[in-house]
Structure 1
Amino acid sequence: MLPLVLVGVVAVRHRTVLAEGVAQLRTAEWPWLLAAAGATCLTWVAAAVTRQGAVVQRLPALRLLATQFAAGAANHLLPTGLGASAVNLRFMAVCGVPLARSSAALALYLLAEGVARVGLLAALLLVFPGALRLGPLLPEGALGPLLAVLGAAALVAAGALVLVRRLRSAVGAFLRTALGEARSVHARPARALALWGGSLAFPVLQAAGLAAVGRALGLPVPATHMAVAYLAATVAVALVPTPGGIGSVEAALVVALVAVGSPVAVATAVVLAYRIVTVWLPLLPGALTLGALVRLKVI
């Protein structure tokens, strides 16, 4: 809850900017907002394709797609994507996938999605090196402590693996299962294409949704620069464990859009509209779908 409290404090301190951003929403062009909604719907298809690509066993397509829609609502109950992971583990268990293999498939999905997102960001930065000014994204003197915390966490994890035998055995068994599952998936071209194609399509569609909202509100930033801002912000907030990224995503997106040349008020309006389209509008139907899938024992 601490990140949400901090975001609330920042929102109160900058309530004038927020109010100006909300006022900007009245100028939005609806056709572009509908395009953003369409891109959001396609992200669930991309997620379903990637989930299928991560497991050898064929999953029922319509139930898999409905599960991805419901997983979005579950994601807002637990931090850092744990809600969606739990829903998909339950779904694969109902489909008869053993826990070891479903866990390996989940790890492969997360790895592919992370590699695709970071790789896409790196490629865009190579093509558009001036698109993002990193200075405004990090407070002065914050990089050193951040790297120290990450290094300390890595050392603690490595020490735990070395000292705790049972943990070492469990991690070793999981890695063997995960590597075997990854080899099986990549031995099937259709599965490998679904895994990596869906992993690339997912962040592209999310960035396209943000670019469409930016056009709706007249954001004076090229679409490619908005895509860079989106990818940089989402990579950064992956380390902040708020449920569904609420608060942290909004803050990071505003900062990233300002870093690529947007006025603060327009950037705030774009982020508010984008999160309404991608998070708050699908939340209730997603929760109802989640409840229906539980009652029908799909998950």
Structure 2
Amino acid sequence: MPQHPERDAPRRSRPWRGWLFGLLIVAAVVATVLHFSDLEHFATLTRRARPGWLVLGLLLQLATYAGVAAGWSAVLRLAGTPRPLLRLMRIAITKLFADQALPSAGMGGNVLLVEQLRALGVARGVAAAALLISMIGFYAAYALFALVMLVLLWLHDRATPLMAGLVTLFLAIAIAIPALALWLRRRGRAPLPRRIEKIGLIRSLLDTVAQAPAALLTDRPLLARVTACNSLVFLADAGTLFACIHALGQPISFGTAFIALIMASIVVTLGPIPLGLGTFEATSTATLHLLGIPLETAFTGTLLLRMLTLWLPMLPGLFLMRGALRSRSHPG
């Protein structure tokens, strides 16, 4: 039977929501100011780049949002509460922005996801299931591609102990985060330690996760579909780097772009720097150069990628996030 949106009791004041959105906006503004020269350089890069390849990169980036939204859509459809894909893509933009702005191993936008699904009339338990299943699918795809990347490096005779160590550490995190989320769901609403109980954000998130329907979380075909959707996101990002290097007139294989994208993403995931500023560029450039791409082209292509994946969505991300905050502050 289709599940209908629950009729909530009057909402208690949640000041943490305002703090969360405010922190995201401050992080974005600070990063933009510190890297304004990069934004100026982007205009120069686009003038000398081949426009057809840049258009391909833009289309691939739109595909990443569609892939994320398709994973959520699969969960909502099975739960009997389908929502338009375009609306879910808007949420994907704001979640990506939140994940990038606050370094938390990809967890920064999870609270935002639940809040915006609730604003679309999705029951809290179903929203929690969408969160947990998308998290499992994301890390399953991420871990698989990390292993594939390591194998490709080994085939290129470029694998190093440091790279193997980073991948091993990442795999531990990729297993631990979904496992922790599922444990919290099984834990239910058992009392929390007093200090943690006082943190409204954590208390609210745990209460929400506890409501996720077990039938959805144990549906293997659903988990496989969501993992496939997240796999397409990684492939589209690697395709975007492939297009950016070609836009500069430098031939590159998709495998090389894939290795650089995944390695840089792993370093950013393990690092504490908001937006991955500097670490992503350095890792991607070094990996591309290691695999035979000229250093200047590797850096310029990586910068083009970051412009398409990070800076270009910044303004719509801020705009949509502001609208989400208003809708949740004034329900009904």
TM-score w.r.t. length of structure 2: 0.65
Q: Does the C-alpha gap of structure 1 residues 284 and 40 become closer, same or farther in structure 2, counting only changes over 3 Å?
A: same
Alpha-carbon deviation of 1:221? 3.1
- Which 10-residue stretch deviates more, 215-224 or 95-104? 95-104
Task: Label 1:83 to 1:177 Cα distance change in 2 as closer, same or farther (>3 A).
Answer: closer
For residue 223 of structure 1, what is the aligned residue in structure 2? 254
Q: Distance in 1 between matches of 2:327 and 2:44?
A: 43
**What's the secondary structure of 2:109's corresponding residue?**
helix
Q: How many residues align?
A: 265
**Contact persistence 1:93–1:99 (CA under 8 A):** yes
Return 241-250 or 210-219, whichever deviates more.
241-250
Once residues 43 and 120 of structure 1 are traced to their aligned partners in structure 2, the CA distance between those partners, rounded to angstroms, is 16
Match of residue 48, structure 2, among 24, 27, 36: 27
After superposition, the C-alpha distances for 1:100-141 in whole angstroms (9 at most, x for unaligned) are 553343232122112112213434554674347233965xxx
Q: CA contact under 8 A between 2:152 and 2:259: conserved in structure 1?
A: no
| 2: CA distance, partners of 1:276 / 1:132 | 31
Q: In structure 2, what residue type is equivalent to 1:60?
A: R
Please report how far the alpha carbon of residue 241 of structure 1 lies from its aligned counterpart in structure 2 after TM superposition: 3.0
Q: Which residue, 213, 216, 221 being the options, matches 1:181? A: 216
Determine the structure 2 residue equivalent to 1:51: 72
**What is aligned with 2:96?**
72
* Offset of residue 40 of structure 1: 0.4
Return the letter of the residue paired with 2:113.
Answer: N
Deviation at 1:39, TM superposition (A): 0.4
Which structure carries more relative contact order (alpha carbon 8 Å, separation 6+)?
1
CA-CA distance at 1:225 after TM superposition: 1.4
Given candidates 142, 157, 164, the residue that maps to 1:117 is 142
Give, as a single letter, the amino acid of the residue that structure 2 aligns with 1:115: A
Distance in 1, matches of 2:44 and 2:161, equals 25
Matched, 1:89 2:114: yes
C-alpha offsets along residues 85-112 of structure 1, whole Å, 9 cap, x if unaligned? 2221102233455545533432321221
2:242 to 211, 225, 238: 211
| 2:130 alignment partner, one of 72, 96, 105 | 105
Mapping 1:164-179, distance limit 5 Å: none
The equivalent of 1:60 in structure 2 is 83
Rounded Cα–Cα distance in structure 2 between residues aligned with 1:82 and 1:192? 19
Which TM-score applies when normalising by structure 1?
A: 0.71
Deviation at 1:23, TM superposition (A): 7.5
What aligned pairs does 1:247-262 form with structure 2 within 5 A after superposition? 247-262=278-293
Distance 1:221 1:42, change over 3 A: same
Decide whether the 8 Å contact of 1:46 with 1:202 is kept in 2.
yes
2:158 pairs with 1:133? yes
User: Paired residue for 1:291?
Assistant: 322
Change (3 A) 1:209 1:178: farther
Please report how far the alpha carbon of residue 205 of structure 1 lies from its aligned counterpart in structure 2 after TM superposition. Answer: 0.6
Asked if structure 2 preserves the Cα contact closer than 8 Å seen for 1:229 and 1:256, the reply is yes
Q: Distance in 1 between matches of 2:256 and 2:157?
A: 7
Q: Is the 8 A contact 2:242 2:252 kept in 1?
A: no
Counterpart CA distance in 1 for 2:165 and 2:133 is: 29
Q: After superposition, where does 1:268-283 map in structure 2 within 5 Å?
A: 268-283=299-314
| SS of residue matched to 2:292 | coil
What residue ranges of structure 1 are gaps of 5+ in the alignment?
Answer: none
- The CA distance in 1 between the partners of 2:273 and 2:96, in whole Å, is 14
Asked if 1 retains the 8 angstrom alpha-carbon contact of 2:114 and 2:131, the reply is yes
Any unmatched runs of 5+ in structure 2?
1-26, 185-189, 194-202
SS at 1:195's partner residue?
helix
Q: Residue 196 in 1 paired to residue 230 in 2?
A: no
* Counterpart residue type for residue 102 of structure 2: L
